[in-house]
Amino acid sequence: MLSIALSELIQVFRNRLVLVTSFVIPVVVSAYFVYQHDVFAETASLGYIAAIVTFTVCAFGLYAGSVTTLASRRQNLFLKRLRSTAAGDAGILTGLVLPVTVVALVQVTTILTAFAMVTTAPKNVVLLVVAVLATVVMMVGLALATAGLTNSPEHAQVTTLPVTLGVIAVASWVGISGTDDLTLLKRLLPGGSATELVVNAWNGGTAMTDSLLLLAPTLAWVVVAAALAARLFRWEPRR
């Protein structure tokens, strides 16, 4: 698993297109939000900026990057090659998505740390960590499911759009307008409750028990994504 992860990391840094679309763009967008935090904090809150940074990195870097990688490895039969060895399926998938996941976590951590330094520290760091991790797991699950519907790395540019744009839209909607109205809908949408969780963790003022309840929809999306992935994921190209 670690040898697969290492080789993936090498490839990420050799492939400039992946590097730019998956890692540079999310950082640039996030940096813009952090830089303009006064403007965004006025319309929403500092917590909203933390949420949009988390989702930008997770949607473009982690999610779209994973789908592109998996589709590309399947298309050139590298997945089949890996399955010709003693490595198990779970180890192969973990190895393939591990580098992108670690890079995304490092990005989120770095940007949010910088954000905390230029503004104020999050009120509840533990909750923030839990919220970010839950979001990461959900996005990886959705990536595996989407990869099953994606025939090629080029095709990934289309197949990833609904989820990337969807979660960014949900995060913005929930982050800016809050969950006082249409509460149930906002919390059930993918990324909705995770956004609220990040916002609460950063801004504070919410009871821990109330916040932990918000984990339930996020984890439910993890289960849905895992079930979809189990049904949709393919190891070999369609003939």
Partner 1 sequence: MSTTPVIEVEQLNVTYGDFHAVRDLSFQVRRGELYALLGTNGAGKTSTLETVEGHRTQTSGTVRVFGQSPRNRRAVRPRTGIMLQESGFTPDLTVTESVRLIGTLTRRTDRVERVLDIVGLTGKAGTKVSQLSGGEKRRLDFATAVYGGPELLFLDEPTTGLDIQSRDALWSTVDRLRENGTTVVLTTHYLEEAQQYADRIGLMHRGTFHREGTVAELTRALPAVIRFGLPAPAPALPLPAMRERDGRYLVETFGLQKDLYTLLRWAEDHGLELRELAAGPTGLDDVFRALGDA
List of residues contacting partner 1 (CB under 8 A): 3-4, 7, 10-11, 14-15, 72-73, 76-88
Helices (H), 149-214: 153-159, 161-177, 183-188, 192-203, 208-213
Q: Residue 143 CB, nearest distance to partner 1 (Å)?
A: 18
Residue 150 Cβ vs partner 1, minimum distance, rounded to whole Å: 17
CB of 88 to partner 1, least distance (A): 6
Cβ-proximal residues to 109 (8 Å cutoff; 6+ apart), any chain: none
- Give min distance, CB of 147 to partner 1, in A: 16
Helix axes 125-148, 89-118, angle to 10 degrees: 140
Shortest distance (Å) from residue 82 CB to partner 1? 7
- Rounded CA-CA distance 156/149 in Å is 9
CA-to-CA dists, residue 74 to 45, 80, 184, angstroms:
42, 7, 38
CB closer to partner 1, 210 vs 236: 236
User: How far is Cα 128 from Cα 114, in angstroms, rounded to an integer?
Assistant: 15
Give the burial string for 193-222 (b: 16+ CB within 10 Å, else e).
bbbbbbbbbbbeebeeeebeebbebbeebb
Instruction: Report the b/e string of 21-49 with b at 16+ CB within 10 A.
Output: bbbebbbebbeebbeebeebeeebbbbbb
Q: Among residues 4 and 222, whose Cβ is nearest to partner 1?
A: 4
Nearer to partner 1, 19 or 114 (CB): 19
Whose Cβ is closer to partner 1: residue 79's or residue 104's? 79
Q: Could you tell me the smallest distance in angstroms from the CB atom of residue 157 to partner 1?
A: 19
